[in-house]
């Protein structure tokens, strides 16, 4: 089923040169209708930063003490914030699902999926697509 096209932030109505504002509730209602699930625009905004943070934390397996783990979280947030063009604090508070950090601090990470990073990924697609995303979903659902 093709996903219907959603207009830009300023939507055109049927009348020529007539526009009206689209609010976040409009977008969220549209997403719920299209996906038949409780999906919001925030899920799309936060998904990739969450996956990037999970990968950044997974490569920090040598962090054993609580201090080392907190340092690994800070490093991962710096990496994600560089991708986003925000500060680490904004990345952590607004873009990365806090369950990823909580699970990492509890000793759970997507380490087993790291060898699949970029495997069978088509040109132009993120290396984190596929098995790595599934591992992140498993941790979030865990």
Give the chain's domains with CATH numbers: 9-39 (no CATH), 46-141 (1.10.132.120)
Between 79 and 22, the higher pLDDT residue: 79
User: What pLDDT is stored for residue 28 in this prediction?
Assistant: 87
User: What pLDDT is stored for residue 15 in this prediction?
Assistant: 52
How is residue 32 annotated by DSSP? Answer: H
Between 121 and 55, the higher pLDDT residue: 55
Which SS3 state, helix, strand or coil, does residue 60 take?
A: coil
C-alpha separations of 16 from 8, 12, 35, 39 in Å: 16, 8, 30, 32
CA 97 to chain centre: 7
- Number of other CB atoms surrounding residue 114 within 10 Å: 15
Is the pLDDT reported for residue 1 higher than 50? no
- The runs of H, that is alpha helices, within the chain are 24-35, 41-58, 66-84, 88-90, 98-105, 131-141
Handedness of CA 37, 126, 97, 134 (dihedral sign): positive
How is residue 21 annotated by DSSP? Answer: E
User: What pLDDT is stored for residue 70 in this prediction?
Assistant: 95
Which SS3 state, helix, strand or coil, does residue 20 take?
A: strand
User: Which of 5-14, 79-88, 101-110, 121-130 is the least confident region?
Assistant: 5-14
């Amino acid at each position: 089923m093709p996903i219907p096209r959603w207009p830009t932030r300023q939507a055109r109505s049927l009348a020529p040169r007539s526009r009206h504002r689209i609010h976040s509730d409009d977008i969220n209602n549209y997403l719920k209708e299209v996906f038949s699930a409780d999906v919001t625009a925030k899920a799309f905004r936060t998904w990739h930063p969450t996956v990037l943070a999970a990968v950044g934390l997974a490569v920090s397996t040598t962090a054993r003490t609580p201090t080392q783990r907190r340092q690994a979280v800070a490093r991962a947030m710096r990496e994600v914030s560089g991708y986003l063009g925000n500060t680490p604090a904004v990345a952590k508070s607004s873009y990365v699902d806090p369950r990823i950090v909580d699970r990492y601090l509890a000793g759970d990470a997507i380490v087993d999926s790291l060898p699949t990073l970029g495997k069978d990924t088509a040109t132009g697609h993120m290396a984190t697509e596929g098995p790595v995303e599934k591992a992140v979903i498993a941790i979030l659902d865990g």
